[in-house]
Structures are given as structure tokens and as C-alpha cells.
Structure 1
Amino acid sequence: MTSPSVRWCVVTFVVFVLQLVGVFLWGVCWADLFYSFHKLVQGEAPPPVFFVTPLIVGITMIVATILIHYERLRGVQSSGVLIIFWFLATLCAIVPFRSKVMSTVKQGVSDRFRFTTFFIYFSLLVVQLILSCLKEARPFFSPVSSVCNPCPESDAGFLSRLTFWWFTKMAILGYRRPLEEKDLWSLNEDDQSISVVSKLIKEWEVEKAKLRSSEVQFTKAQEVEINHVSDKPTESDVLLVTNQKKREPSFLKVLLKTFGPFFMIGSVFKLFQDLLSFVNPQLLSVLIAFVKDSSAPAWWGFCIAALMFLSSVAQTLILHQHFQYCFVTGMRLRSAITGIIYRKSLVITNAAKRSSTVGEVVNLMSVDAQRFQDLTTFLNMLWSAPLQIFLALYFLWENLGPSVLAGVAVMVLLIPINAFIAMKTRAFQVEQMQYKDSRIKLMNEILNGIKVLKLYAWEPSFAQKVVEIRSKELNVLRKAAYLNALSTFAWTSAPFLVALTTFAVYVTVDETNILDAEKAFVSLSLFNILRFPLNMLPQVISNIAQARVSIRRIQNFLANDELDPDAVNKDKTIPGNAITVHNGTFSWARSSEPVLHK
């Protein structure tokens, strides 16, 4: 095994070669520029492209070399920007490379200087692309990690992150033997509960502070004697209060501020994936036209097939990056919501504990928090599905004309059905959560008083009560399952009905309309794109309806009163009684009747 010093020397040499090759590329490009000026001085007039192209490419290479040095100073181990740049530069140079080779084979070399500089330029581009794919070692100024088994994702290079190659070791280990707890990696710092819960609590406190600052009150302080309890109920008199409707802090706004920016990165990936999904149908149309044209060159067909392959690969890579961001956001959401609910359950008052039972708190941390994690996976379909449907219908209109309106009519007819199902699903969700809270509350009381139940043989009667509540809950779940099955059937059959209706109208509306191979295959590919958003849209709407119920429940729980940490004074008191109460009135809650007078 190589030592760290040897590895560091190798990495330093690679970085030096990267910068040196960047300088050589700049020199090669500007050598072409000076050669064009030399020809101009000798009386020849080269085309303007021989001046503009070397100048722009040379400046670009200088900027890329500076970027290599700058990212090295910042400790970047693998630059995605540079890898993409060198890949695109090499890809764009392949076409003139092929043209020069073909012209040289047929006609020979006409301009030896530019021919030589171009092949040097192309070779240096390939070297830069290969070297930029190598991941550098962690710099010396990086903070030392104290984690015994860190996750390799944090140190993975750009290509490793793009292809999830950093997970290969874990997959191979799991294939060889069952995984154990010691095999699992530690969480990244940004994914740990101490980080995500703190951020959410901070944003929640800021939201509550903004709401309190908007409630303007003018008060007059009262005189209070030391070591004397007054009969007055408050310490100040409210002179003026702004007459505004009382608002509650928005937990949804807090979630968006805390996790929204990270989730938006996944949304950008989803946008690119949606746009790329419509490239293959257009390339398929060009490929079918190429097959029909017998005079078309063979290389054009290979180019179309290669573009279709690259488009599919890029679409797959981008889609999985989108899901990675969505899954991580859902994991952080669940951890943060569970943490803030648990923290709140420790400091709520006795009055709040009467309304928020242990069963409800358990439901909030298990069921309601899980709903947010399930929602984030396909939340982007809320805007992505209409975008895909609009683009698919636009290209179908270009291909089949007004006949596509028949398919649109079928989808429009399904919208009211789905809206009704979503409303009923939300109502069933509220009812089911009420029954679930009652059942868990009753079970908690049974377990706490199990000795009394055993003593008086009350198990059958209490078991009957639990079964009754569970039967009502199952009845609601059965109705929701029927609605879900109806919604799934309607939207699963929607693409088939849309395609059937559109083709039938297209053929019957005009005798000149012929459904040839190009129209049929391109239209079917567009209808296949329609299938996923039409299938996922009802599920996303149903999940949003369930999340609205959960967010209202969590928001109401977090709005409960908390114990005052300053209510207990631990300072030394004057000699005498430790506690003195004059005319005290005690109750379990402010709104309840007094239970003790002194």
C-alpha cells in the first residue's frame, strides 16, 4: 500500500500536469492566431474564422486553467464543471477531427501547420479529460474527521457521485454476507438529527417571534413589592391592543425555509429530465425519416442512434440525481419533525397534556412524520406532471393535428372524478386519524391500569371497546381503499383511452389522414410519456391531502403552551420559610375550576 506522502506527490504532479496542459492548449490556439496574422502580413487574406476561433478558444483555455488553480486552492477534490467542460470540448472536436482525417485520406494535407496544431490540440483535450476524471486527495488544511466509519459520499468525486459508484463497496459486501450494524457508515454531518432538528427549531422560533412582534400592545407596569404576593392577577395593565385577527405560526412556511433550498436542487434536475424525455420522440421521427430515405448516408443513421443512446443515459443519470435529493430531503424532514415533536412533548404544560395525549404524540412522530417523507419523493410531480402533459399534447398536436383534442377531452373528464376522490380521501383521512388517536389513548390507559383490569376481570369489556374503535377505523380505511382503487383504475386506463380516442378521431375525421409508421410510433412514444404523469398525479394529490391533515395536527401541537423555565427561582432567599403562599388558588389549567384554596 502506498504511503500518504507518495500519494500526495502523485496528486500534486497530476495537478501540475493539468495546469501545464491548459497552458499548452492556450499556446496551441494562439499559435493558430499568430499564424493567421503572419499570412495576413504576407499578403494573403485568411477567412475571419481563423482569427475569431483561436482567439475565443485560447481565452477559454486560459480561464479553464485559472479555474483549475482556483479550485485547487479551495480544496475541491473533483470539479464537475471542469469535467463537463472538457467532455463537451472533446465531443465538439470529434467532428472536425473526423473531417480532417477523411479529407486527408482523399486529398492529402493542404495546410500542414493548422493540421499539426489541431491534432496536438485534440490530443491535449483527451489528456485533460482523462486527468480531470481522477479524484484528488483531501488537502492538508481539511478538518480532521473523528468519525470511525465515515460515509464515502462526502469524499466521492464528481463521476462517483453521478453514477453512485461510492455505494458499490457496500453493495458487494451485502451480496457476500448479511450486513451488520458495524458495516453501516456514519451519517453525514448535514443529515444528523442534531443538525436538522436545530435548524427546524431555530426557524420555528423565528416564525413565532415574527408573529409576536406583529401583535402590538401598550402596557403600564404595576408596582410590585419584594417578597409580597399581590392580589392582582397580572403584572401589567394592557392599555391598547391592535385589533387584528389572531394568526398562528405557519409550520409549512418553516419547513419551506429549512428544507426548501436543498429540495429545489432536485427540482432543477427534474426539469432537465422532463425536457430530455421529449428528445427521443423527435429523434425517433428523424430516424424513421432516415430509414425511408435510401440516399441518406449511413453515418447520419449512426449519429441519430448515438444521440438517442446518449439522451437516454443522460436522462437516467439526471433522474436518479433528482430522486437522491428527494430521498435525502424526506429523510431530513422526518428526522427534524420527529425531533421537534419529541422536544415539545417534554415542555408542554399540564393543560396541553390533557388535550395532547401520549397516543397522539406517538401518532405525530410515527404516522404524520412518515407522510412528509412519502410526499417529498414525488412532490415535484405537482408541477412536472402538468408540464409533461402540456409538452406531450403540443407535440401530439404537431403530429396529429386537432384530433388530439379528443384525447384532451378524455383527460378533462377525468379531472372532476379525481377532484372528488381527493376531497373524500382527505375527509376519510381526518376521520381515520381521530379513531386512531382514540384507540391509542385507550390502549395507553389500559396498559397503565392493567393491574386494576386484571383484579376486576375487566379485560373483555375493554377489549370490546378497542375492537369497536378498530372496526370503525377499518371501515374508514376500507372506504379509502375503494376510492384509491377507483382513482388508480381511472388514471391507469387514461393513456390507453387517450391514444385510442385520438387515433380513432384522426383516421375517421378525414380520409386523407393516413396513420403511417412515423405518426404511429412517434405518437405512441409521446403517449407513453403521458402515462407516468397521469398515473402519479392522483397519488400526489392524495398524498398532499393527507399531508395537509398532518401539518394541521403538528401545527396545533406545536402551538401548545410550554412550561416557563423562569418560573422557578433558584437564588438564595432571605431567612425564614422556603415557600410562602398567601391567598393562593390552584388549578390544573387556567381555564379549569380551582381544586385547592389556601
Structure 2
Amino acid sequence: QEGRRFCVSCGGDANLSIHTDNPDLTPCFQNTVLAWIPTVYLWTALPFYLLYLKRSKRGYIVLSMLSRFKTLFGVLLWCVSWADLFYSFHELLQSRTPPPVYFVTPLVVGITVLLATLLIQYERLRGVQSSGVLIIFWFLSVLCAVGPLRSKIMTTTAQRFRSATFYIYFVLLIIELILSCFKEKPPFFSPANTDPNPSPELTSGFLSRLTFWWFTSFAILGYKKPLEEKDLWSLNEDDISKNIVQKLSREWDKEKAECKQNLYVLPGMISMKKSNHALNHVGDGPEEAEVLIRDKRHSRKPSFLKALMRTFGPYFLIGSFFKLIQDLLSFVNPQLVLISFIKNKDAPAWWGFLIAALMFTCAVLQTLMLHQHFQYCFVTGMRLRTGITGVIYRKSLVITNSAKRSSTVGEIVNLMSVDAQRFMDLVAFLNMLWSAPLQTCLALYFLWQALGPSVLAGVAVMVLLIPFNSAVAIKTRAFQVEQMRYKDSRIKLMNEILGGIKVLKLYAWEPSFSEKVLEIRKNELRVLKKSAYLTSLSNFAWISSPFLVGCTCTTVCTAQEHPWRTHGKLTVRPTNLGTKYKYLLGKKNIFHTVSLKRIQQFLSHDELDPNCVEREVIAPGREISVVLRGADAERVLFVWGFSGVSGKAKRI
């Protein structure tokens, strides 16, 4: 009753909208739900979008005719919306009391349209050429206005003023949507204005980026002729290795600095005396020595994973959002199957057309979201590999001599090639860590509605596979560590052979060194063979899991004489989740943990102190010499490293 007081009183809602050959929406639904959906979307996205625009530093766009027309039609939409509001007040003054919905909806819609108009100009000042947020808003507004438009055309109404304003409002929405599909000019001081061959990705419109239309011209060019280097576009600023390595190095240095500042002592330990004696003579007493040892033992080591997350995490989360939408859409089609409609002889014909249209729309949206997800994942993986390779190379130039003895050239080469590549390969499947459990929960929910408690039998099969694959994963990780150790030693030996190839040829030592390399390679292949056997067992278990789960659920359900309430709604979607856990507990995650440990251990090596070398501009003709006189010459000791005093030189 309260809802009818708020809007328009209407009866027989189900017969009017669903169980009829000529469906229509109730006036209350049209003036509330359909009118508020675009409003709720824009106000929900507003805080996040404003934060994004605030951080955008692209420069401003000169006021163009396109921007002026979009602003003009936005103001007209605001005027039309509030014209309905003022008309409601006019009716109130004429002793006609309209429903409250005729006051609330025009007020809310008018404020929202005014907000969208202001966003058009704010986006221009922040250098946004095409706004995906506003395109979606105008599209939702047009889509939600199609139903009321059909109702007003099919039925006659006494509210001629509101009908006229609605027709004007709908036409203005169409114009605004069309104008929003066109992109603005590049911002002032944009690299696209100076680059002779810029990439069209950043300057492309929202629809072009969503459908990858900006790449079409390049694909056609490659079809017509073989591509050359001059045909390639310039790299985007965010994809240049110099910028990527600087960002990752800055985050890694910040992580190391935080670890140095956050040294702590566990509760209950003996506190160090803060006297001048303790500060100047560390370790004079047993208490101070004990505290120093424990403090060093429990200090947190810098995490390279945190540096990676802070550098590449925000961009990767955008792809995760697309993956979330794709996962939710993947469970919509099983709920829209046509079998139930076909078995219902009394169903109106428009039900079938609506279900088919929804299934097609869902499939298209799912494809768009999935490709956007992979686009963000692969770009993140490319940047990740570039950053890791650059950071390792920079580190190899500044590590001390003692660190060079522990980390050979072969290990450094493997870190920059193999381990960095594994991070890139992992990113595409990293979202499975949360996507697989989410899809499992949704699938179990729908299966429980269809089969009841019988679905627990299939769950038991999947649970039994997890310990087996976990044990295989642990063993595979051990084999991976052993294989990388053999690979490092093999590359180290090959570098030494190539470096001294003249000596080997002179003394005819090729066979002996060849046997050493082949022996190491033989051990490496032996470990790879064992790892391949374990991987085959794991893959067999996960690939056969859909059949085992489906067979178990069907058998238990049939044995219990459970009524099949689904009428054929069971699809392959709920039973293929076992293959997703293959990536969750697969060898890619194992290789990733091994590679992360190796890279972090290498980046934690000591570096040369740049302050030990004094850099001065020497005048031309001036000689440089180091002279030790008197007692200083007796106390100086020259060594190659800190681990020992071998190779020392005195009295030079």
C-alpha cells in the first residue's frame, strides 16, 4: 500500500508484464526502477572515477565543438528533467495532487544529468579523450527509456505534457550517446602530438579499446605486406623499460628501507642499555651481545613480492575486475536455457525471443570481459618480466666480489631469462587463486538447488584429489630446485669453457670438459624426467575430475531416487571446476615460488659502497697518485673480500 501511495496505483502487475502476449511495464516500475538504474550506476562509480581523474596527468584538452555540443545537450536534458518537476508543482498549485514519484524522479534524474554534464568538462580539463563511464551511463539511460517509450506509443495517456517532455528527453539521450562515442583531440603537451609514429591505444576511444578496433589497421597492414621495423608503433610511456625499471627499483629500495627501520625485539627479551658506553662499545657484555643476535634473527627480510605488488598491482586489479564480471556472467547462461521454455506449452512466444536475446547478449559481454582480462594480464606480465630483468641486471653491476662468488654468471643469466619469464607466464593464471573458489561456491549452490545433498558426493571427490595433488606439488618443487641448481652449474661451466676456448684447443681438453657438461646435463634431464612423471599424474587427476564428479553426483542422485527438478538445466559449467584447480595447485605456482626465492636472494646481496670512491674533476696535466707514509703504511691491508685475508698485500 505504501508503494502504491508513492507512485501510481495499478493492479494485475503479473498479468500486465509477464503472462500476456502483449507485455507492458507498470507505470510505477517505469518511473522508479527504470529511471533510477542509470542514476545509481553513476553515483556509485563517481568516487572511484573522481579519484582516477585526480591522479590523471595528461594535460587539458582545448574546448572543441564536440565538447560544446555535449555540454549543450546535457544542459537541455537537465532543463527537460526539471520541467517535469516544475509541472508537478504546477499541478499541486492547481489542487491536483500528483504521486510523490513525479517529484522525486525528475529531481534525482535532473541532478544526475547535471552531474554528467559537469563531468564532461572536468574530463576535458583532465585530458580524457573518451569517457567509458559516461558512455555506459548514456547507454543505460537509453536502454531503460526504451520500455517507457514503447508504453507511451502503444497506449494513450491524458498526461500530454509529460509525454512530450519524455519524447524530447529520449531524443536528447540518443544524441548525447552518439556524441559520446566520438573521441576528443589529444591533450595539450601530449606525446602523441610530437611522436612521429605514436601507438593509437592510448588515444583510442572507449569502444575502440573495448573491441580492440585500434589494432585493426595494423593487422590489415600486416596482411597486405611483411611488417618492417618502421611500421611498428612507438612504445607507450608505461611500457618503456626505463620507466618500468625505475618504478620497480624505487619500490624495492623503499621496501629495504622499511625493513631497516622496523627492526624489532620480541617481547620478553632483555632491553639494550642506552648508555654512551653501550653505543660506542657494542657487544662488551653478554646481555648486549644476546640482544643483538636475537634482534638480527627476528628482523623481517625485505619482500620482493611486496615491491612487485605495489608496482604492478593496481593495473593488474583492473584485469581482475573484468575476470570477476566474466565469472558471474558464465553462470547466467545455464539459468537461461530454453528447455524449460520449450516444455511450457502455455508460455508466450516473446519469452523465447527474450531468452535468446539475453543468452546472446550474455555471451557477447562474457567474451568482451574475458579478452579485456587477458589484455591486462598479458601487459602486466610483459611489464613484470621487463622490470625483473632490468632490476637483476642493475644489481649484477653493483654487487660485491664476495657476492659474485656466491652468485655465478650462469645463475644471473637464468634469473634474467628463465625466472623472469616464469613470472610473466604466471600472471595469466594468477586470478585463479580467487576465481576457482568463487566459481566452485556458485556451482555448488546451483547444483544443490538441482540435486540436493547428492552434490556432496562430487564435493568429496574433489576434496580427495587436493591432498594427492598437494603432495605432488611439494615433490615437484623439490625437483625444480634441484634442476635449477644443475642448470646454474652447467651455464657457469659453459661460460668458463667459452672464455678459455683457446687454452682448451691448445691442450686438446675438449673431450674432458665435454664429458663434464654432458654429465651435468644428464643429471638435469633425470630430474626433469621425474618432474614430468609427477606432472602427468597431476594432470590426469584434474582432467578426469569432471567425469568423476559428474558420474558420482548422478549415481548418488539416481540411487536416492531424487526427482530431477532441473529439467535438463545441468550443464558442463558446474562440473568442469576441477580443471581450474589444476592451475591453482599446478606446477606454475611451484616454479613461481622457487623463482621468487632465487630472485629475492640475489637482490639481497651486498652492494658496493659508492662513497668509497671519490669522484673529482682533475685538471688537465695533473697526475694522480696514492701515497702512504709513515705508520699508515704498516696498518694498511689490501684484500679481495671480507670473507678472508687471502691474497693480501702489504707495504706497497
Alignment TM-score, normalising by the size of structure 1 = 0.89
Q: Which letter does structure 2 place at the counterpart of 1:579?
A: V
| Partner in structure 1 of residue 122 of structure 2 | 70
Shift, 1:523, TM fit: 1.8
Q: CA RMSD in A?
A: 2.7
Confirm whether residue 290 of structure 1 aligns to residue 341 of structure 2.
yes
Contact kept? 1:220, 1:237, Cα under 8 Å: no
- Alignment partner of 1:80 is 2:132: yes
**Cα deviation per residue 1:489-508 (whole Å; 9 max; x = unaligned)?**
11111112111111121122
Aligned to 2:609: 564
In structure 2, the gaps of 5 or more residues are: 1-60, 265-271
Please tell me the residue identity of whatever aligns with 1:203: E
Cα distance change on mapping 1:280 and 1:427 into 2, 3 Å: same
Quick one: which of 183, 186, 203 aligns to 2:231? 183
Amino acid across the alignment from 1:567? C
Identical aligned pairs, as a percentage?
61
CA distance in 2, matches of 1:219, 1:343: 39
Distance in 2 between the 1:145 and 1:331 partners?
26
| Partner residue in 2 for 1:26 | 78
Assess if the C-alpha contact under 8 Å between 1:330 and 1:377 holds in 2.
Answer: yes
* Counterpart for residue 300 of structure 1: 351
Q: Does 1:248 align with 2:296?
A: no
Q: What SS is found at the alignment partner of 2:571? A: helix
* Shift, 1:248, TM fit: 2.8
1:225 is aligned to: none
- 1:212 Cα deviation from its structure 2 partner: 2.5
Answer yes or no: is 1:258 the counterpart of 2:305: no
CA contact (8 A) 1:267 1:322 kept: yes
Q: Verify the 8 A CA contact 1:375 1:547 in the aligned structure 2.
A: yes
Q: 2:594 aligns with which of 540, 544, 549?
A: 549
- Could you tell me how far 1:214 is from its partner in structure 2? 3.7
Q: Is 1:55 equivalent to 2:107 in the alignment?
A: yes
Query: Which amino acid in the other structure matches residue 185 of structure 1?
Result: W
C-alpha displacement of 1:221: 10
Q: Distance in 2 between matches of 1:38 and 1:576?
A: 96
Deviations 1:45-89 (A, max 9, x none): 333332222222222211111211222222211111110000001
Q: For 1:567 and 1:425, how far apart are their aligned partners in 2?
A: 45
Query: Any unmatched runs of 5+ in structure 1?
Result: 1-7, 223-234
Counterpart mapping for 1:97-136 below 5 A:
97-103=149-155, 108-136=156-184
Q: Deviations over 1:287-313 (max 9, x none)?
A: 433322222222232222222222222
Compute the displacement of 1:529 (Å).
5.4
CA distance in 2, matches of 1:116, 1:594: 96
Instruction: Identify the match of residue 462 of structure 2 among 400, 408, 411.
Output: 411
- The one-letter code matched in structure 2 to 1:52 is V
- Find 2:501's aligned residue among 426, 450, 461: 450
Q: Hey, what's the Cα distance between the residues in 2 that align with 1:114 and 1:214?
A: 67
Does 2:423 correspond to 1:372? yes
Distance (Å, rounded) in 1 between the aligned partners of 2:638 and 2:647: 6
Residues 186-218 of structure 1 show CA distances to partners (whole Å, capped at 9, x for unaligned) of: 211111111111111112222222222345899
**Alpha-carbon distance in 2 for matches of 1:438, 1:74:** 54
Q: 1:568 to 1:220 in 2, by over 3 A?
A: farther
8 A Cα contact 2:450 2:564, kept in partner: no
CA distance in 1, matches of 2:148, 2:167: 10
Contact 1:219–1:237 under 8 Å retained in 2: no
Contact 2:454 2:553 in 1 (8 A): yes
1:462-503 C-alpha deviation (Å, 9 max, x unpaired) = 111111111111111111111112111111111121111111
Any conservation in 1 of the 2:77–2:113 contact (CA below 8 Å)? yes
Matching of residues 152-551 of structure 1 within 5 Å: 152-215=200-263, 237-238=281-282, 242=292, 243-244=294-295, 245=297, 246-284=299-337, 287-510=338-561, 513-515=562-564, 518-520=566-568, 522-527=569-574, 530=577, 532-539=579-586, 542-551=587-596
2:539, 2:353 → 1: CA distance? 41
The secondary structure found in structure 1 opposite 2:611 is coil
- The residue type equivalent to 1:371 in the other structure is R
1:419-474, Cα deviation, whole Å (9 max, x unpaired): 01111110110010011011111111111111111111111111111111111111
Q: Secondary structure at the match of 1:526?
A: coil
What's the CA shift for 1:577?
6.0
CA distance in 1, matches of 2:193, 2:606: 40
Q: Does 1 or 2 have the higher relative contact order (CA < 8 Å, sep 6+)?
A: 1
Q: Deviations over 1:373-406 (max 9, x none)?
A: 1111110101111111111011100111011111
* Distance across 2 between alignment mates of 1:575 and 1:416: 72
Does structure 1 conserve the Cα–Cα contact (< 8 Å) formed by 2:447 and 2:455?
A: yes
SS in 2 for 1:496: helix
CA distance in 2, matches of 1:151, 1:447: 42
Deviation at residue 41 of structure 1 after TM alignment:
2.9
Contact 2:186 2:192 in 1 (8 A): no
For residue 65 of structure 1, give the secondary structure of its aligned residue in structure 2.
helix
Q: Distance in 2 between matches of 1:62 and 1:569?
A: 64
Find the residue that maps to 2:346 and give its secondary structure.
coil
The answer (yes or no) to whether the contact 1:219–1:238 under 8 Å persists in 2 is: no
- What corresponds to 1:228 in structure 2? none
Aligned residues: 566
Contact 1:392–1:529, Cα closer than 8 Å, also in 2: no
Q: Give the counterpart letter for 1:291 in structure 2.
A: I
C-alpha separation in 2, matches of 1:459 and 1:577: 45
Contact 2:85 2:107 in 1 (8 A): yes
Report if the CA contact (8 A) 1:259-1:329 is conserved. yes
